[in-house]
Structure 1
Amino acid sequence: MKMRKVWASLAFESVYGFASRLIMIPLFQFLFLGILRLADFAYITNKNLLSFLSSPIAIVSLCVFAMLVSAYALVNII
């Protein structure tokens, strides 16, 4: 009886981990590309990195993005 609960828990954690990564990684990529478009950048190179990071919109957006990613990581760790 106890082994059945262990296997059920293990199966749930595996499916949950796979599904959350399957959904969240493309979502975070979409959000980051949205931040780039919001700051009027198509891509980031070494030459335009400083101008991207000096944009107030980019700074605020990246801070919010970092909080979302860290909250997702915290939920997965718990």
Structure 2
Amino acid sequence: MQQFITVFFDVYILLIVAYVLTSWIRMPYSLHRVQRFLDDVCEPYIRIFRRVLPSFGPIDISPIVAIITLVVVQRVLVGVIERLQ
């Protein structure tokens, strides 16, 4: 179970990183489906932090806070599971 949680969170973190990178780079038309997929998967979670965090002009720190939150939750969940076993 610990390994599943670790892999799940790691994959989601990688998807957020890919989402951020694709927002900076103009993607060819053939990869718009990938960009839409990343948007559909990552944007609802990141939007939570955009609503709460103040605006820093063109700099969006919500993905960073979202990733840090995922890492903290992952460590807490793995710690709880370790104690239960």
Q: TM-score, normalised by structure 2?
A: 0.45
TM-score by length of 1: 0.48
**Larger relative contact order (Cα-Cα within 8 Å, sequence gap ≥ 6):** 2
- Greater C-alpha Rg: 1
